[in-house]
Amino acid sequence: MPETTSLDALIREWEAELGLEGLAQARYQERMRVLRFFMGLVVPVLLALLWLPTGWAVALRDALAANTSWWRTWMALLVFLASEAVLTLPLAWYFDFRVEHRLGLSRQTCWEWLWDELKQAALGLPLQSLLFLGLYLVFRTWPDKWFPGLAGLVVVFLAALYLLQPVFLRLKYKTQPLEDPVLTERLHRVFQRAGVPFAGVSVVKAREKTARSNAALVPRGAGTEVVLFDTLLESMSPEAIETVVAHELGHKVHRDMLRLMTLVGTALLLALAVGYGILQRLGTWDGLQGPGDVATFPLLGWILAWLMAGIQVLLNAYMRSREYAADRYALEITRNPAALETTFRVLARQNKALPQPPAWVEALLHNHPSLARRVLALRRWANQRTISEN
């Protein structure tokens, strides 16, 4: 185990390892992350400007008589959301396709990428529209006591998102069971040590689409399934893969998904409550008829996008602390700091991650600590353990 060094020394060492071209690519990826965040703030404003001052939102509502029944409201929402999807498609293309190609990470053609986008939208758009349909129905039915209805709605929506995770994954990637009894048994043993019911290992055929690698635990029946990208299997030793799974088990055992969902749900509810308050004040402007009027949707979308972006920054700080906890857990149950460090290095190289992004970018936009910080923390824990064991 290398001894603890300073963060600066570690960053310099990794940057040298990346080389000039690798470093330039990693910095480019970081700039694109920032640009994407700010575009995410600009687009909802443009959409609101497109629909509201032009009178188009009111005209659409009147043409569909959209506030008179649930399905008419739903139709209007689908039109709004489809317009958003069309307007943001060039941005999605730029960030998910063009940037990924420039980084040498995507292996898809433009048409393949577009087809994947359409499939994801075919599931995502109705889901999103149902959330907002429920919202307007709640606003209309209980104009004064909307809060419990809204809370129920948010819980159902987040639960559906959680349960549909494997479906979203399989829409984009084909999966197959792992045909490696030795590795399967090894991962099964880590699950036993963590006390989590094991539901097998699936391999995601990601290689044909991307060079990125990833791993996740997803619900399957009463148990938990390990999902490994084939790109990860190719690049890591069984020991390193075990540490990746141990890290994910750390999240599972610490109930990080539940914590995150609770926080996101609370944040969403808070943002919706603020949105409702603003719609009460501004929602009768220029032909709009208050919070229950579906024509207010472009305004609500803008309010939500900005509030959630602000909240996301706070959530990121919390999630970074959960990542450290999962790393520590992985160290506890594998007792293999060297393999964990190797894992971080391989992931950094594969995903072209900057060892240490600028501090403000990390604080605002990253939900994982930088890889350099994670390695440093790891070395500190490993040293503490050695000292206490001696």
Instruction: Supply the minimum distance, in Å, between the C-beta of residue 254 and Zn ion.
Output: 10
Question: Residue 179 phi/psi, 5° resolution?
Answer: -100, 70
Contacts with Zn ion: how many residues (CB under 5 A)?
2
Which residue lies nearer to Zn ion by CB, 326 or 376? 326
Instruction: Supply the minimum distance, in Å, between the C-beta of residue 367 and Zn ion.
Output: 9
Instruction: Supply the minimum distance, in Å, between the C-beta of residue 251 and Zn ion.
Output: 6
Separation of CA 17 from chain center:
29
Instruction: Supply the minimum distance, in Å, between the C-beta of residue 218 and Zn ion.
Output: 14
DSSP state of 203: E
Which residue lies nearer to Zn ion by CB, 153 or 326? 326
By CB under 5 A, what part of segment 238-257 binds Zn ion? Answer: none
Which residue lies nearer to Zn ion by CB, 168 or 324? 324
Q: Distance between CA 87 and CA 1 in Å, rounded?
A: 51
Describe the strand order of the beta sheet including 175-177 as a list of residue ranges: 175-177, 198-204, 223-229, 215-220
Instruction: Supply the minimum distance, in Å, between the C-beta of residue 247 and Zn ion.
Output: 6
Q: Distance between CA 338 and CA 92 in Å, rounded?
A: 38
Instruction: Supply the minimum distance, in Å, between the C-beta of residue 266 and Zn ion.
Output: 21
Q: Are 58 and 295 in contact (CB under 8 A)?
A: yes
Which residue lies nearer to Zn ion by CB, 230 or 327? 327
CA distances from 301 to 44, 247, 295, 304 (A): 7, 36, 11, 5
**What is the residue-wise DSSP string for 208-222?**
TTBS---EEEEEETT
Q: Which helix (H) or strand (E) holds 302?
A: helix 297-334
Which residue lies nearer to Zn ion by CB, 131 or 319? 319
Q: Which helix (H) or strand (E) holds 278?
A: helix 256-282
By CB under 5 A, what part of segment 312-331 binds Zn ion? Answer: 323, 326
CB atoms within 10 A of CB 177: 11
Q: Distance between CA 294 and CA 68 in Å, rounded?
A: 10
Q: Distance between CA 295 and CA 223 in Å, rounded?
A: 44
Instruction: Supply the minimum distance, in Å, between the C-beta of residue 340 and Zn ion.
Output: 12
Which residue lies nearer to Zn ion by CB, 82 or 363? 363
By CB under 5 A, what part of segment 49-108 binds Zn ion? Answer: none
Which residue lies nearer to Zn ion by CB, 226 or 326? 326
- Give me 128's structure tokens: 């999103």
Instruction: Supply the minimum distance, in Å, between the C-beta of residue 149 and Zn ion.
Output: 34
Q: Which helix (H) or strand (E) holds 177?
A: strand 175-177
Helices 181-194 and 238-253 meet at what angle, rounded to 10? 30
Interface positions with Zn ion (CB under 5 A): 323, 326
